Amino acid sequence: MPRLDDDLGHPLLIERTPSRVVSLVPSLTEALAATVPGRLVGATEWCTHPAGLDVARVRGTKNPDHGAIGRLLPDLVVANQEENRSLDVERLRAAGVPVWVTVVESVDQALRSMRRLFVDVLGVAEPEWLVAADTEWSRPPEVPPVGVIAPIWRDPWMAVGSRTFSGDILARLGLGHLLADAGDRYPKLDLGALLGTHPDLVLLPDEPYPFSAEDGPEAFPGIPTSLVSGRSLTWYGPAMVTARADLVDRINAALATG
């Protein structure tokens, strides 16, 4: 194979197209299962899609079982700069396991990164779901340009900040992302600071923190809140095909009932 560099510029040292792939990223696990299911041999416990995925589990995204990965004899491990620790990537490479690290901080970057992974590294035609996702997210905004915040955790409170895939999702929907210029990608803010942004709408995803009707909206009295799918807001891959319509429906419903 010609020399290929991953999204961080690290060379991928392989001689042939990978046929045994371990994924340490839930979004990419779903993408691999949809596109090259016969090549996916391992995934983390957090890889919940597709339902019923029958591959070996290698523990979590932050604490992968290096021994279990090695026993699967992968010729490629797929990781992500945000979701996986650089220490684990370095240790796998030191053990002779090729690792491809993705970097995804916007919709365009997600599409470009996945196109490189599947076409250049895995040697398949551009997946239909990727073409469909590109079309979906190329459409003009469909919701009112109201100011929004999107907490992802509480105790302590954390929210979507700058240079994030989810933040770009908010902008592409037409929302005013009130923490788009935050110094951190996921700033920690007390509830008073969050309320001090004066949001017109609060999006509460069900992951990584499992916000629900009983846990989250009560913190924002008098402000419309929308319980949204974390998969729609934060997952790149096949989820992007349906995410836009799902988010638009939930946001418009929340604003209508305000």
In the chain, the DSSP E strands lie at 4-5, 11-12, 21-23, 40-43, 56-57, 76-80, 99-102, 147-149, 151-153, 158-159, 176-177, 201-205, 225-228
The pLDDT score that the predictor gives to residue 258 is 72
| Cβ contact 108:55 at 8 Å | no
* Token digits of residue 214: 């009983």
As its CATH architecture, domain 4-135 has 3-Layer(aba) Sandwich (3.40)
**Number of Cβ atoms within 10 Å of the Cβ of 189:** 20
* Tokens (6 digits) for 189: 């803010």
| Long-range Cβ contact pairs of 206-210 (< 8 A, separation 24 or more) | 206/230, 207/231, 207/234, 208/152, 208/153, 209/151, 209/152, 209/153, 209/154
Tell me the HSE value of 108 on the side-chain side, using a 13 A CA sphere. 4
Torsion of CA 136, 138, 139, 141, to 10 degrees: 110
pTM of the full predicted structure? 0.94
Q: Return the domain boundaries, the chain.
A: 4-135, 147-257
Give the model's pLDDT for residue 142: 87
From the list 208, 209, 203, 211, the residue with the least C-alpha distance to 249 is: 203
pLDDT (0 to 100) of residue 2: 76
Element (DSSP H or E) covering residue 192: helix 191-195
**Domain 4-135 identical in fold to domain 147-257:** yes
Cα–Cα distance between 90 and 86 in angstroms, integer? Answer: 6
CATH code of the region 147-257? 3.40.50.1980
β-strand partners of 43? 23, 57
Q: Which two tokens stand for residue 127?
A: 């997946």
Tens-binned pLDDT, residue by residue, of the chain (258 aa): 778 999 999 999 888 999 999 999 999 999 999 999 999 999 999 999 999 999 999 999 999 999 999 999 999 999 999 999 999 999 999 999 999 999 999 999 999 999 999 999 999 999 999 999 999 999 999 899 999 999 999 999 999 999 999 999 999 999 999 999 999 999 999 999 999 999 999 999 999 999 999 999 999 999 999 999 999 999 999 999 999 999 999 999 999 987
